[in-house]
Chains A and B, each alone.
Chain A
Amino acid sequence: MAEAGAPIIEAIGLTKTFKVAQKPPGFAASVRHFFKRTYKEIPAVTDVSFTIRPGEMVGFLGANGAGKTTTLKMLTGLLHPTAGRCVVDGREPFARTRDFLSAITLVMGNKQQLLWDLPARDTLRLNAAIYGISDADYKSRVDELSGMLELTDKLDQPVRKLSLGERMKAELLASLLHGPKVLFLDEPTLGLDVNAQVAVRAFLRRYNERTGATILMTSHYMADITALCSRVLVIHEGKLVHDGELAALLRRFGTRRELRVELSHAVDDAKLRTLGEVLSHEGNVARLAVEPAALVAVVGRALAELPVVDLTVHDPPIEEVVGRVIGKSQRALPNVVGAEQGA
């Protein structure tokens, strides 16, 4: 058990290296590969350290293959770290003790545990037996969670007949039935439409408020992160490049504003470039990145020099911010980790 105030998740120099067989293209190479394999050590996660306190909701960002899922799998005891160690709820995950597994859950947007051919309720009963949940607790938890997820009338339909959004909600219900203290969510809104994404986000926020559960989540939809997480970890090529408040990340890397202009007729790209960096320019709509100091002057010039129909100013999309964090880290980023910590 973690003491109050002590971190509930702790990663200390977490490292995972995969041995991957190397095969050049072509038939002859395939034959050689059949008899003699050459392996290359691919570092998936390198020396990642962070701590998370009970009740925190933390976003985990990074490009595909950056090492997010590998880290989550080490924290949930699915993968054995090559080096370093992690402690979750006071226990070493890879031992996968009954107490540890009952205290956590992992939801994966691209995989499902629900029994495809049967109503979700059958999976729920099965999980109740697996986690040793009493009948009374089972009933009250299913009532509570299905109410929060607005899923009550869908539990008796075969899972294969549910929509993608309903299936994800049912998946969350099955994953949370045992009342885990720590939730690891890997792309929980993957493939969902905007309404379903909003519903899942609202549920996670309420669940965190009600139960005080700790949540570490990855997502490709930045709206998930901005809506739920005040703190973010950014991982790039297996290394942690940012750990701190989301607002600090935006301040540090996202200083430019985005200017969106709609024009009555097309104008030359070169003309737009005199105002700022052109992020996109399709038809009569253009997006420009502008330094804040120059914003008022640029807006004035745009209104004076361009056939503007509509003009709006936005914060930059967080994808761009993360892209800049990653871009800077490739040019030997001064150690950001720690600088932002506790901000």
Chain B
Amino acid sequence: MRRLGVILWRYWSTSLQAELEYRSNFLVQAFGSSLALAGSIFALTLFYRGGGFPGWTFEEGLVVQGLYSAFSGAIACVLSPNLSRIVQHVEAGTLDFVLLKPVDAQVTLSLRVISPWGLPDLVFGLAVIAWGAARAPARDGSVSLALLAVLFGALIIYGLWFVVATTSVWFTKIYNATEVLRGLLDAGRFPMAAYPAAYRFAFTFVMPVAFMTTVPAELLLGRGQPTMLLGSALIALVLLVASRAFWRFALKSYTGASG
């Protein structure tokens, strides 16, 4: 465990160092990141004018929006820079180096780099959650259950994303697929009550975005049943095991870039 800690520290410090090597790129990224933040705030004001969704007060809806922003930030920090690199590794043949190191390849591929550009969204999201939850109608919500739900939600997204990224071992041009996934995750911006029943079903069981934002928000606000957490945990577990099995299966047919 300690060894893994040292490795992650080296992974992340080198990736941040590399980011700092290019000053102009750093400035452009910082600018882009603040624009994205401004976009999130603008989306929030639109939402406010709409007057909320059935069964959800404005403040409760804010918690969902805050969770969505925090998730997007976390995805931009860890998930998307790492998993989009799998495609590059397969194309350039540098996946060989990942496989040759005595560190679990899935760990390296999932956590190799960290990008600071999701941080503004992450911090903004957390602030919106705190602000919304403090002003929402008082019920006996549970912070620890909500945190668990967030953890499971994160594992669910990770599992799905990793499976899609793994398919690049066969289809190198998979970059679009992760973009589609990103678009679908946008559905998590609003409480599930905002969608027609058929979509709700799909967002819960087909593409489980409900577990990303709505479920943690309901637990935090004391609106949900702890049994939801069980469902969330189950899906997370299944997806994690599936992503690992799928990765091992993919490696059997990995042929390398130069054969």
Contact = CB atoms under 8 A, between A and B. Distances in A.
A108 B17 contact: no
Given A117-B21, A118-B14, A131 B256 contact: no
A30 interface: no
Nearest to A99: B102
A111 B256 CA distance: 12
A305 B251 CA distance: 66
Contacts of A18: 255, 259
A66 to B, nearest CB: 11
Given A78-B256, A111-B94, A118-B18, A129 B102 contact: no
Interface in A162-210: none
Interface string A106-129: 101011010111100011011101
Interface stretch (B3-11, B155-163, B188-196, B226-234): B3-11
Given A122-B17, A125-B10, A130-B7, A113 B94 contact: yes
B103 A70 contact: no
A130 B255 contact: no
Contact of B99 (A44, A96, A98, A158): A96
Interface string B231-259: 00000000000000000000110111011
Interface string A1-25: 0000000000000000010000000
B186 interface: no
Contact of A118 (B17, B102, B252, B259): B17
Given A18-B259, A69-B258, A78-B254, A101 B101 contact: yes
B102 A102 contact: yes
Contacts, number: 75
A343 interface: no
A73 B256 contact: yes
B3 A132 contact: yes
A278 B86 CA distance: 52
Interface string A79-108: 110000000000000001010011011101
A78 B18 CA distance: 28
A99 to B, nearest CB: 8
Contacts of B17: 117-118, 122
Given A126-B10, A129-B10, A158-B21, A113 B259 contact: no
A131 B102 contact: yes
5 contacts: A80-B251, A111-B93, A115-B18, A122-B14, A130-B101
Interface of B: 3, 6-7, 9-11, 14, 17-18, 21-22, 92-94, 96-97, 99-103, 251-252, 254-256, 258-259
Given A129-B6, A129-B7, 18 more contacts: A69-B259, A76-B100, A79-B254, A80-B251, A80-B252, A101-B102, A111-B96, A116-B18, A118-B17, A118-B18, A125-B10, A126-B7, A126-B14, A129-B9, A129-B10, A130-B10, A130-B101, A130-B102
